[in-house]
Structure 1
Amino acid sequence: MNNEVIIDYKIIQESPSEFPSFTFCNINPFDVLNENTTGLYILDTLRKNSIPSYLKINTGEKAIDLVEKASSILKASVVANKTLSEDYVKKLGFSLETMIISCYYDNKECNTSDFYYFRDSEFGNCYTFNWITDNTNMYRKSYETSKTGNAPFSDCKKSVDSSTQIDSLYLKLTLNISKYSKILCYEICVQYELIIPRCGCGDPSVPLVDKMLLICSNLSSLECVKNVREKVKNLGEFCEKYCPSECDSLIYTNIMSLSAYPSVYYTNILRFQSNVVEKFNPIFSFNPTSFDLRKKREIETSNKNGMPYIVNDGSNYWNSPTPPTPEQVKSSVLSVSVFYDDLNYVSIEEKPAINLETLFGLIGGQFGLYIGASFLTFLEIVEFIINVSIEIYRLKKSTFKTNKVVKVVEKESEPITDTRINDSIPNKE
């Protein structure tokens, strides 16, 4: 049975528009120059997996394959090691202060409290600007542009409270860790339907729904995960029946433009800025080939927003810092501007073609139509019988009059005998 819907399509102009959330990470999940523990962790993890700290390419090998193997081991080990504290894991990656030189929103300087921290299995420490939370402390969108109806028009689920016993396990697990996402539900489904049964452990890139789950963290198990994912061409074939569509979705149309930054003029200004100089003169020097981990300086930060603009430890090293070269600035500094090209947005809403009010209206109309039609039909039959009766009566009455006239005429047409004439004629006999 098809459940028809009415699509309400609107173009809405909103000013000022709500600013979307913006997340950024470092492509390298480990920062070895600002925490001495990071370098030691990397060396120890590589050593346990028989991977040399200095990768040497043998005949027939590719550098990218060796780097990917070492990288996958390091990333997976962070997720698999349940003994690592949250603070320790956070120190392995880049801090917000290390990554940001400056931030402005609506011509106002950003505060560190405007950023929300979370850890990604691929990129390590990530930070979201304009993170919005609801009363469940879960991320929610600023506004919605698409909304589906309830069952039977949709089997979507918004929260744990709306789930039922007949819902799939993967749908419930998805709702337990975030707002429902079909893609995330697919990932959890593939994890438990394919990866764990075949590899005996879980993919470290899939969000954890069970803290006791064994995570793949060695070369053989990670290779198994890779092979399983390569063989799965269509996730919907396995997981479509477990993962319904989202109730609400917000889709941004992204247009990206690039240009060289910074300019030559601004580079010569930026490279001498104190917090930029500091970022190019890290606290530690790390040399994995000789296991040299040497502390270079102590720093103290003093800034209302927590950004390290004033650094002074009294050492000769920091009294004569080395500014970065223009080439270093241009290859390491990125400026990102996020803005709306248009303040209009499209709202697409699906509504049931027949709701409760419409249903009652249709039933009442049909009921009235049938009742009215039946009564009129009955009257038509009665009218027909009356008309037939009248015609029969008229026909009978007309026949009776005709017969009477005929009899009268026949009686009057009999021959008349004049007795007087007959009596006057003599009898010849």
Structure 2
Amino acid sequence: MKVMCDPKPPNASMSERGNEGLIEFYSSFKDMFEFFCKNTTIHGTIRLVCSSSNRMKTAFWTLLFLASFGMLYWQFALLFSQYWTYPVVMTMSMHSEPKMFPAITLCNLDPFDLVSEKLAQLDQMTEEAIANLYGHKTSIVSSRYKKDISVKGGSANLSSSSFQLNRHISLVMLKEPDTGSKKKHFKVGFKLCNATGGNCFYKAYSSGVDTIQEWYRFHYMNIMSQLPLIINISSHEEHIQNLVYSCQYDGEPCRESDYIHFHHQVYGSCYTFNSKGTDLFWKATKPGISYGLSLILKADQNDRLPLLSTVAGVQVMIHNHNQTPFLEHEWFDIRPGIVTNIGIRQDEVHRLGGNYGKCTVDGEDVGVKLLYNSSYTLQACLHSCFQDKMVERCGCGYYYYPLPPGAEYCNYNKHPGWGHCFYQLYNRLADHHLSCFAKCPKPCWESWYKLSAGTAKWPSTKSQVEYRANVDTLRDIAKVNIFYQQLNYRSVDESPVYTVNLLLSNMGSQWSLWFGSSVLSVVEMFELLLDIMVLSLIFCYRRVKAKKTLKMAQPLAISSISLTLENYRAVHEDLAADWNSSRTNQNVGTVAKTKNGNLPFRSICSKTPTPELNPDVVLNGFRHIKDHSVETDLNS
């Protein structure tokens, strides 16, 4: 709403100016647009009015204005389309400050202290399978010790259980399809069927070694899945002295409270140093070997299953605090008789969530319940999701991952078709056909360590006397030094390409380019749109009101008058004459009669307008109706 754009001139009469309202609106769209073009700060609009006498110029400036307007909003569309894609830019920065030493996990690669007899049977079955395939024997069983299982209150082993190795799942030689080559190609695999036996496939590899290891691992999982039913692994504690002979950090001996112990399904007894990352003892203030962690480890090569783990020594993983170590994905092998120096460099990444990317801060908003008692990681989420799918579709859990509540591990004595179900489900996960990758986002903050290693023979010949070790002992020990190469760390941060401030700045630049205007001009545009809507509503209201008034109007109530065609003409002729005479003599009160003696209607018609001809009279041809009520009333 605004004051009229065309105010009264100063010399207007006071009465006319007094009739104006306090707030008035435009009377038409033309007035509104004319006022806008004359008073707006947008360049070029005034030319639409000033050149109105020249239609060619008006048309030219109209086209130019519309073209500029179209180009402006085309640029706006490009800006918004880029903004709504939410692009990010990676910025890299270097920081240097004292840092907490990472968590270090060591595993002795000897998970077989709890089992002996069934694994020995599996080794014997493996020797027979290799002999049948390749025609030569191996000595797997004799290459390691056989230990009994110690249990509280007596002894027990897997032979006392109902578990039996399934010899029907054996290694076979598979001939590949004929490719026209003279040389025949074979694959080694093993057959897996579902619970009914109606659907089967061969798990095969082009390498016989890979097939034998996978086949051995499959039987090994079926053996180890029985352990929770027989023995409590967590109660079978081992002392760290069985793995670590010496431990020093920053020249100080390690404390007994600096590590935690757990048992891994494949890699045996494991110990994690500085798992929480809260003790200031592990604060790194200087880089270099002398200020890092130095360990002398037992790397016994006797108790090994070469078909499950081909590496002799100790496995080391460097990871973040409160994080589950996934040694099957990230590890470092420490070989016996060798000193290994591992330098650490740290990188950090900060990701944007929300519209800019899919990430989670703490995993609380993820639709997968973690089965690990640790902080959120992508691997922990994927493993938990896969285990849920495994329990849902196969009826049991994969032995390498923790179990959800109420589930049990798979073994082919109780779940005959679990292997068929597992490998098909795992292939779907590897091909990204399961929903786990969609459900598990990356962490919004993530830190990882880049490792560089160097090795040397250890101990040297001269230092053997100092360690007082014989040749057999030297074959079973190793040394590892873990340290920060430098305290500088690289931080990679995501930031939005288009922020709201940058978007408004670019829009302002485009607005100034095409119209040379400011923010107030934008306000004027919004005001114009508001005026258009208000004026449209006013016009609509007036139209609706006029229609209602027309419907409510009734025809003038007049008593029925019976007139002949002659009387009707005479009345009108006399009315015209009487009208002229009444103008000159208005005080005359006498009433004259018409020529035919009928009373004229001067006294009435002088005060009321002449009634219109009744449509019924016209349509009926002035039929004579015997009704003299009007004449009687007038004569009286």
Give TM class, smaller chain: 0.5 to 0.7
Matched, 1:72 2:268: no
Match of 1:192, SS state, is helix
Alignment of 1:21-420 (within 5 A): 21-31=103-113, 37=150, 43-44=157-158, 48-51=162-165, 68=217, 71-78=220-227, 80-81=228-229, 84-85=231-232, 87-88=234-235, 90-91=236-237, 94-132=238-276, 139=322, 145-159=348-362, 162-163=364-365, 167-168=366-367, 170=368, 173-174=369-370, 177-193=373-389, 195-208=390-403, 210-218=404-412, 220=416, 223-224=419-420, 227-228=423-424, 231-232=427-428, 234=430, 236-238=432-434, 239-271=436-468, 325-326=470-471, 328-355=472-499, 369-372=518-521
Does the 8 Å CA contact 1:148/1:350 hold for their aligned counterparts? yes
Deviations 1:252-290 (A, max 9, x none): 111122222233343444355xxxxxxxxxxxxxxxxxx
Structure 1 residues not aligned, in runs of 5+: 273-324, 377-429
CA distance in 2, matches of 1:153, 1:97: 50
Corresponding letter in the other structure for 2:481:
S
Specify whether residues 223 and 375 from structure 1 end up closer, same or farther in structure 2 by C-alpha distance, changes over 3 A only: closer
Match of 1:125, SS state, is strand
When normalised by structure 2's length, the TM-score is 0.40
Does the 8 Å CA contact 1:76/1:121 hold for their aligned counterparts? no
- Compare relative contact order (CA 8 Å, sep 6+) and give the higher one, 1 or 2: 1
Report the CA distance between 1:108 and its aligned residue.
Answer: 0.8
Report the CA distance between 1:2 and its aligned residue.
Answer: 1.2
**Identical columns (%):** 20
CA distance in 2, matches of 1:131, 1:119: 15
Corresponding letter in the other structure for 1:242:
K
Q: Please tell me whether Structure 1 or Structure 2 has the larger radius of gyration of its CA atoms.
A: 2
Report the CA distance between 1:187 and its aligned residue.
Answer: 2.0
Report the CA distance between 1:213 and its aligned residue.
Answer: 1.0
Specify whether residues 258 and 47 from structure 1 end up closer, same or farther in structure 2 by C-alpha distance, changes over 3 A only: farther
Match of 2:478, SS state, is coil
Partner of 2:533: none
Specify whether residues 111 and 374 from structure 1 end up closer, same or farther in structure 2 by C-alpha distance, changes over 3 A only: closer
Deviations 1:14-61 (A, max 9, x none): 3x4432111111111133699961798773258642359xxxx99999
Match of 2:438, SS state, is coil
Matched, 1:10 2:124: no
Higher helix residue share: 1
Does the 8 Å CA contact 2:276/2:322 hold for their aligned counterparts? yes
Match of 1:188, SS state, is helix
Does the 8 Å CA contact 1:133/1:140 hold for their aligned counterparts? no
Specify whether residues 176 and 44 from structure 1 end up closer, same or farther in structure 2 by C-alpha distance, changes over 3 A only: closer
CA distance in 1, matches of 2:501, 2:386: 42
Specify whether residues 349 and 107 from structure 1 end up closer, same or farther in structure 2 by C-alpha distance, changes over 3 A only: same
Deviations 1:110-145 (A, max 9, x none): 1121112233222233111121257xxx81699871
Does the 8 Å CA contact 1:156/1:244 hold for their aligned counterparts? yes
CA distance in 2, matches of 1:41, 1:72: 22
CA distance in 2, matches of 1:140, 1:47: 36
**What root-mean-square deviation, in Å, do the aligned CA atoms of Structure 1 and Structure 2 show?**
4.3
Residues paired across the two proteins, number: 302
CA distance in 2, matches of 1:256, 1:333: 18
Specify whether residues 230 and 271 from structure 1 end up closer, same or farther in structure 2 by C-alpha distance, changes over 3 A only: farther
Report the CA distance between 1:153 and its aligned residue.
Answer: 1.6
Report the CA distance between 1:75 and its aligned residue.
Answer: 3.1
Deviations 1:55-95 (A, max 9, x none): xx9999998678545532343233x53x754642x43xx43
Specify whether residues 337 and 68 from structure 1 end up closer, same or farther in structure 2 by C-alpha distance, changes over 3 A only: same
Corresponding letter in the other structure for 1:252:
Y
Higher strand residue share: 2
Report the CA distance between 1:148 and its aligned residue.
Answer: 1.2
CA distance in 1, matches of 2:468, 2:162: 40
When normalised by structure 1's length, the TM-score is 0.58
Structure 2 residues not aligned, in runs of 5+: 1-83, 115-144, 174-187, 189-208, 279-320, 325-344, 526-636
Partner of 1:316: none
